[in-house]
Amino acid sequence: MLTRKQHELLVFIDRYLKETGYSPSFEEMKTALGLRSKSGIHRLITALEERGFLARRPHRARALEVLRLPEDLGAARRQAARAAAEAAPASSNVITASFGRPRPTLPEAGSVSLPLYGRIAAGVPIEAVRDTGVLVDVPASMLSGGEHFALEVAGDSMQEAGILDGDIVIIRRADTAENGDIVVALVDQSEVTLKRLRKRGNTVALEPANRAYETRIFGPDRVQVQGRLVGLLRRY
C-alpha cells in the first residue's frame, strides 16, 4: 500500500518517462507534488525503491526506472485500453472516394522528445552541456528501453560509418558496451568523443571511421562509456 504522495510521485514519474524518454529532475518532481524541499522527494523515492516500484541507476543523473505500477492504476489502464479498442470503428477494405474534398492527412508516427545536449566535440564533457532546454523529436520506434539523449556531431571522424558533421545521433545511456559498438566515451573526465570501441587486452581503443584519423589507445581507467549509438537523424 502506497501513501497518497508516493502514489502521486510514481504516476508523475511514469507519465514523464513515457512522454520524454528520460526521468524528471528533482526540481520538477518537487514542483509537481507541491513540496517545499527536495528532501521530501528523496524520501519518497527511497520508499518507492524499498517497495519495488522504482529503481535508481547509480552514478547517473536523472536515471529513474519504473519497475511496476500499483494494481489499481494498472487495472485502470488495461480497462481504458479495452474500452478504446471496443470503441474504435471496424476496419474496412473499401476506400471511399472524396472528390472535391481535401484529402485526409495520415496521422504522424509516434515520437518522443529527447534532450539535445549539444555538439559532441573534444574538450566538452556531456555534463557541461546537459539541460540546455533544447529538445529534438525522435520516432518512438527508434528507441528501446532505458534513458536516451541526443547529440549533434561535430567533425568528420566517423564519416565512413555514415555519420556526418551536423548529424543528430541518438544515444542510449549505458556504462558498458560490446566490442565494435559505436559509443560516446568520456576520456580523462574532460574530453567526449564518438568512436568505435575496441577492447585490446588491458587497453581500450577508440577507433575513428576515417582513415585521416588515428586510433587512440588508453588504459581502461581513462575511458568511461556514457552511451551507445542507437540511431541517427539527418537534415537535408
The catalytic residues are 157, 195
Nearest to 20 by CA among 155, 130, 116: 116
The DSSP bridge partners found for residue 218 are: 204
C-beta atoms surrounding 169 within 10 Å: 22
Residues in the chain: 236
What phi-psi label fits residue 99: left (phi over 0), alpha (psi between -120 and 50 degrees) or beta? beta
Distance CA 148, CA 112 (A): 10
- Whether the CB-CB separation of 35 and 24 falls below 8 Å is answered with no
Nearest to 186 by CA among 164, 161, 204: 204
C-alpha cell at 11: 504516476
